Structure 1
């Protein structure tokens, strides 16, 4: 999720257009109320025609004024809405940089549709990169938290984007251990639902700040840690822990996204621990799972049949 990949300039143009469209929709929603109130003609204006004309003419005039008073209205003027600072910063940032997010437009659109429905919400992202400002902006008004393995990279990104909230985390696994970990996780300990801090499953990551475990995350994006070579940490524990957090919430559902599912680890672990039965959509290298709470229904199997 770092700066390793650059997409074509066309993708950057599409992304900026997407952000402008989001801005336009936001301004429209805030500028035009759904039930505009009509403004009646001033009630203090009156016309006494009784002394100037006969009864018939007076009656007709009064009826006309009554009709005018009840029907006359001024169109409601739209209120002036400023661009939210987070959105303005994102537009400027992406318009002035040649670095673009690693996900494709189609992949980003999958998460965007969910954010449009659920934001403002709690959004946990494994990985910190040049697309982080985009995620935080699309979750305008909500909380977006990033977990990053590279401390120096956090300092570099947050120096440019100080409003991003990021925690440094460490992993004690290696990609070359993936098959061994997958076999070891087949036992009942890894099928039990509990707080990840107290799980007996060796795949449950217990080293995140307590704040990460204490929040019920509505969306979780797994796009880190590094997983493209044998000595990299891999995403085994990130994927499992994301699924456990989703199942352990009090109620409701968690939308979990896993990127780079063209790789063996992301493919096998997302299917094994987020489950084919919870798979909602796949676009390119991105999979979207909708994982329900298991605490509201006792006896629910770890994966649906």
Structure 2
């Protein structure tokens, strides 16, 4: 049996500890702005309840349920995708409306992606299936058989002068595009239309030239221009003549990638380096 004085000391020690503990709890309760039941705030960016943006969910459903395959292969698509990874959300202009259009708009989520299409019937059909896409009908007045003649015209002084395509004196400049096209500073331009595989079709001569003019006429910075089917003679010659070999960044598969600087900030800069 323990001595009585030791038991009393132990009780006193216990009482002291309990008193200090309750005093500490009382201090926390009475402290200003303290609430023992205040919920933990989770940053919005970490919330697991965030919804997938509509454009992305639309794209996922579309490509998960279709058997159609985009014309560009994964290696070619990756070239443009890497640039979008760095620049998006940005302004992206695409000549052509195809099986890959919803993908491009989704990869540029939050930016503006505009499609220019030659076939009014095809555009209406796509619009029904993908109403979120911004698209415009464009009429072309050329044929592939005119390519050699137009290439020679492109060497003239009027065609080697940088200006707004609307006011250019060069016959290669497209002047019938929507005003939004001329008034927007484009970060990327993709030329994958109009139809060019048949001699009687419009060809991409004017689309390529006008893309280069839009890029040079940009107020500041650079524009990435991509040309699909660059292995074909017309696309190849017009790209090297008006987007310029000196501005070519890479060629992957059938896709050519050019980076064209603004010519407004460089007084006396030649049309091609």
Sort the TM-score into its range (normalised by shorter chain): 0.7 to 0.9
1:52 and 2:21 aligned: no
Segments of 5+ residues of structure 2 without an aligned counterpart are 1-12, 25-39
User: How far, CA to CA, are the matches of 2:42 and 2:54 in structure 1?
Assistant: 27
Instruction: State the secondary structure of the residue aligned to 1:291.
Output: strand
1:45-104 per-residue CA deviation (whole Å, 9 max, x = no partner) reads: xxxx9x926xxxx8xxx9xxxxxxxxxxx8968313221111111011011011011000
Question: What's the secondary structure of 1:201's corresponding residue?
Answer: coil
Question: 2:119: which partner in 1?
Answer: 150
- 1:21-100 correspondence runs (5 A): 52=16, 78-79=46-47, 80-100=49-69
Q: Which residue of 2 aligns with 1:243?
A: 212
In 2, the alpha carbon distance for the partners of 1:160 and 1:187 equals 44
Matches within 5 A, 1:146-225: 146-225=115-194
Tell me what 1:258 maps to. 227
CA RMSD of aligned residues (A): 2.1
CA distance in 2, matches of 1:303, 1:223: 22
Partner of 1:191, secondary structure, is coil
Give the corresponding residue for 2:254.
Answer: 285
Q: Secondary structure at the match of 1:123?
A: strand
SS at structure 2 position matched to 1:188: coil
- Aligned residue number for residue 102 of structure 1: 71
Corresponding residue of 1:23: none
User: Is the Cα contact below 8 Å between 2:153 and 2:159 reproduced in 1?
Assistant: no
| Contact residue 194 and residue 202 of structure 2 kept, 8 A | yes
Alpha-carbon distance in structure 2 between the residues aligned to 1:75 and 1:133? 36
Aligned equivalent of 2:8: none
The structure number with the bigger radius of gyration is: 2
Q: 2:93 aligns with which of 121, 124, 129?
A: 124
Distance 1:155 1:258 in 2: 25
Runs (4+) off by over 2 Å = 74-78
Report the 3-state secondary structure (helix = DSSP H, G, I; strand = E; otherwise coil) of the residue aligned with 2:114: strand
